[in-house]
Amino acid sequence: MPTTLIAVSGMSPAIITETLWALANEHPATVPDEVVVITTTKGRADIERDLLTKQKAWNGKTAWETLRNDIFALTKQPKKCAKLQVSVRVIDLPDADTGIRKPAEDLRTKLHNEEAANFIVQTIAPFVDAEDQHVIASIAGGRKTMGALLYAAMSLLGKESDRVTHVLVSEPFDTVRGFFYPAQEVQDLDVRPYGQEPQPVKAKAAKVELADIPFVPLRNKFSELNEPRRTFAGLVDRYAKADRVLSQPPNVTLDVKTGVLTVEGKPIPLMGRDFLICAFLFERASEGMPHFNNKDDAKNEIKIFSQRYSSHKAMEKFSSGEVTVDDIPKALSPLRDKLKKAGLASAIPYLAPARQRIGFEMQAS
């Protein structure tokens, strides 16, 4: 299964190489096919300078090239391998003056962070939506808000099989400039304690490992909300309103002309038998009439109702020509499904309980 590492990066590109080295040293080893880095123009410049520019100290190679070769050797991959393909995605921001979106140099305002949240959602969505993709999200880099937003986006969109990680680097290498991973080409580094003389250290002495950050994949709970991703705030709003718990009977209206039952403000279109049965139960509840203990108790009343509705267009589409007590359970089952899909599962005991009684318990809007 293809694996994609998605990382946020600020001014410390080493987070990327450290995470990849830690993954390669797991058992079993993980070598991502794609590495997608979400950053700003400042972050991109740092990545290009530190990872993607050939350095004399690295024998004329880039840090990225050397890392790939070392990981391929460690994990016994072919020398020419299509894995570890990096792409840098720069967050863009709206420009009120020009009307042209521009790459973000930094994220300093509330609007900037809202735009970053949307960008992260839209970037990760194709990867997490693919059932044949394994996604690892690294929240170690970038501004703290970027890591928090990536974690939240993974909670909203991620699959149960995906991972959220943070890289842990032993001291003092977490602050040593020029450190990227223990087996790197440049081994001789300096640690500079505050107010003290530089002290030499070897890169190979560093210990790098990953911490998995638990997250709840909400898409498993709210499968009905698996829809095209638009905005971060929109997703949060949908999940917040989904499957709301009702502590009292729901507000219900019924438009007889259109066949739309509205429950707590959410429209539920009905047709044919399903509409007729719901209209029957809605009418009785509106008039304060009692529930039925079982379907046979409704035999006379539903016959009278069917005669009254004989000219309704729903009756014309109903093949049997009349509704009977046997149609009640057949109509309530799809109503339960529609309530679940609308995020109103807690309305089922009031409107379509599987047992106990037959009848709507509601507040008429």
List, for residues 214-271, the tens digit of each pLDDT value.
Answer: 998 877 655 545 555 567 777 776 666 655 566 788 999 999 888 899 998 889 999 8
**Which tokens in the block code for residue 38?**
């979400």
> Which residues are within 8 A (CB) of 273 and not within 5 positions of it... i.e. 6 or more apart?
318, 323, 327, 330, 331
Confidence of residue 316 (pLDDT cuts 50, 70, 90): low
The pLDDT mean for the chain works out to: 88
pLDDT of residue 243: 55
Specify which of 165-169, 246-250, 346-350 reaches the highest per-range mean pLDDT: 165-169
Residue 41 has pLDDT above 60, yes or no: yes
Residue 315 has pLDDT above 70, yes or no: no
- State residue 296 phi and psi, 5-degree precision: -65, -30
Summarize the confidence of residues 168-176 as an average pLDDT: 91
pLDDT of residue 319: 55
28: cis peptide before it, omega within 30°?
yes
Measured at the CA of 75, the angle between CA 70 and CA 78, to 5 degrees, comes to: 80
> Among residues of the chain, what percentage have pLDDT more than 70?
90
Pairing of β 85-90 and β 34-39? parallel
Q: Which residues pair with 363 in a beta bridge?
A: 251
Catalogue all structural domains in the chain, each as residue range(s) with its CATH number.
Answer: 3-240 (3.40.50.10770), 243-364 (1.10.10)
Distance CA 55, CA 61 (A): 6
pLDDT of residue 257: 86
Pairing of β 92-93 and β 85-90? unpaired
Residue 109 has pLDDT above 90, yes or no: no
pLDDT of residue 145: 87
C-alpha atoms less than 13 angstroms from C-alpha of 209 in its C-beta half-sphere: 7
pLDDT of residue 269: 93
User: Using one digit for the tens of pLDDT, what is the confidence trace for 50-85?
Assistant: 999 999 999 999 999 999 999 999 999 998 899 999
Confidence of residue 365 (pLDDT cuts 50, 70, 90): low
